[in-house]
Amino acid sequence: MRIEIRPSLFLLNDTAKPFSFVKGLQLLAAIEKVGNLQAASKALSISYRHAWNALAEMEALLGSAVVEMTRGRGSELTPLGKQLVAAERLIHARVGPLLDSMASEIEAEIQSAISFVRNVLKIYASHGFAIEALNKHLQKKNIPLDLSYRGSLEAMSSFSRGYCDIAGFHVPIGAFEVPVFRHFEPLFKPSHQLINLATRRQGIMVAKGNPKKIWSIEDLLRSDVQFVNRQQGSGTRLILDLLLQQEGKTGSDINGFENIELTHAAVAAYILCGKADAGLGVETAARQFDLDFVPLLTERYFLICDKKMLVDLRFKPILELLNASEFRAAVNNLPGYDANQTGTVMTLREAFPNVFISHGNTAAQRKKGKAKIAHEKT
């Protein structure tokens, strides 16, 4: 059993019943992709006549053309047609992951009602394309999972309080590893185990061709640049705050810092619609929405659970899938993602040796400092 919740776009007026844009937008998206009405009709398995009538009806209701057809040159979307397709993408990017979370929760509740036993693992995870792929692969194999997308900090906080069985969060590699780790540190316990889901590239997403010539965080501070941000508590927002701190700046120095979207895909769609010039996110989102991407850093995405979860029969098929070549290939096909360590189980110390070395140095420095003070007093 699988539950899906799908958003739909309708046109309402006083003289006609609600008009659904679902089929029309599918047709426009296909035309944009193949550049020809006949080929688009074939791709959607509908007749050319049906496709023509669908366009004519849409244009009559909107009062303007959505497609321009030229003999010998195929079909091209008008500015209105492009705007409709972009709006559709923004809608799905904004609410799609949230609806997927709700559908997953409803599925789990229905399964619980049918079996009278709640036996589905609950995961709170930062949104990403690898975790999305994991959920889809599990669904295909009919492996139940209750997945809810949350910011990294919220997911980890919920996990530490026992609201979920597993959490997903990400930490950058390099200079920002230790400061980001510190945000999660109070939530970790010695019994916690980490499973590497993937590594991925984070950077600045910009419009195709990078018309504003945005190449660095410093460029985001320009008065002619409009930004779109992620929500407070997300791992990407933590990274942005650290990047700004490195420049000696704050969010108040960026136009649009308070424009919030909840997923990487929504940020990309927001830029595609022309509502912003740039946003921080993963490379996959940029490529999916035909944007340019300026890489800034690489990060690791982890799943965290208690050690006893590793031998839980409900978790066994998930761990097996993470180590399957089929899933690793799917992750490697995501632009900017790397599945080289996918499925690897680690302790906190194994995953973050630099952090624990830093801990040891700090402790040694404190001990040395106390000894020096005691010596000076004597």
192-207: per-residue pLDDT in tens? 999 999 999 999 999 9
DSSP secondary structure letter of residue 147 = E
Which three-class secondary structure state does DSSP give residue 251?
helix
Residue 317 belongs to what H/E stretch?
A: helix 316-322
pLDDT for the residue 86: 84
Residue 368, class by beta-carbon neighbours within 10 Å (0-12 exposed, 13-18 middle, 19+ buried)? exposed
Which residue did the predictor score with more confidence, 245 or 369? 245
Q: Which residues contact 197 (CB under 8 A, 6 or more apart)?
A: 128, 130, 131, 134, 168, 301, 302, 303, 322, 331, 342
Query: Cα separation of 91 and 251, whole Å?
Result: 26
Residue 76 belongs to what H/E stretch?
A: strand 74-77
Helices vs strands, H then E, count in the chain:
14, 14
Q: Which CATH class is domain 121-359?
A: alpha beta
Residue 290, class by beta-carbon neighbours within 10 Å (0-12 exposed, 13-18 middle, 19+ buried)? exposed
- The CA R_g of the chain, rounded to the nearest whole Å, is 24
Domain ranges of the chain: 10-84, 121-359
Q: What is the mean pLDDT of residues 159-179?
A: 95
* Low-confidence winner among 46-50, 117-121, 137-141, 334-338 (lowest mean pLDDT): 117-121
Average pLDDT of the residues of the chain: 87
Q: What is the mean pLDDT of residues 278-300?
A: 96
Residue 198 has which token pair? 């993937």
State whether CATH 1.10.760.10 applies to domain 10-84. no
Tell me the pLDDT band of 349, cut-offs 50, 70 and 90.
very high
Which three-class secondary structure state does DSSP give residue 202?
strand
Helix pair angle (22-34, 48-62), 10° resolution? 110
Tell me the pLDDT band of 213, cut-offs 50, 70 and 90.
very high
Within 9-72, where are the H helices?
A: 22-34, 37-43, 48-62
Which residue did the predictor score with more confidence, 156 or 73? 156
